């Protein structure tokens, strides 16, 4: 199993409940495919560098998961089918990226505890 990281941008007109439903749909798909979710983080509403579908902002969400490489194509098709998702990017993490992600998570946990 490889570790992947996906960042996706959702439509800015969604309510908080709709954002949660979208994330739940995606995580449920991954869990159905026997993937395990290591970490997820809501980055919130951010300004886009350039307009996408005439939208200037979007809800960003980070998802780190372990999965068999065969499901990534199906996963991206699922993202493409959801009209609430404007853009996404999935990358396979190498050992250096895994170390960085672990350090970043530890730093976030320390900030939350403070």
Domains delineated in the chain: 2-113 (3.30.70.60)
Q: Report pTM.
A: 0.87
pLDDT tens-place string over residues 29-49:
999 999 999 999 999 999 999
Identify the residue whose tokens are 């946990």. Answer: 109
Helix then strand then coil, % of the chain, to nearest 5: 45, 40, 15
pLDDT tens-place string over residues 11-21:
999 999 999 99
């Amino acid at each position: 199993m490889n570790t992947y990281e996906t960042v996706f941008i959702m439509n800015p007109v969604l309510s908080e409940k709709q954002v949660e439903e979208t994330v739940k749909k995606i995580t449920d798909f991954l869990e159905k495919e026997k993937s395990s979710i290591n970490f997820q983080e809501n980055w919130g509403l951010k300004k886009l560098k350039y307009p996408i579908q005439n939208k200037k902002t979007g809800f960003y969400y980070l998802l780190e998961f372990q999965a068999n490489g065969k499901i990534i194509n199906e996963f991206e098709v699922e993202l493409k089918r959801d009209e609430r998702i404007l853009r996404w990017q999935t990358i396979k993490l190498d050992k250096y990226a895994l170390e960085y992600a672990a350090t970043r998570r530890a730093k976030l946990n320390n900030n939350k505890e403070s």
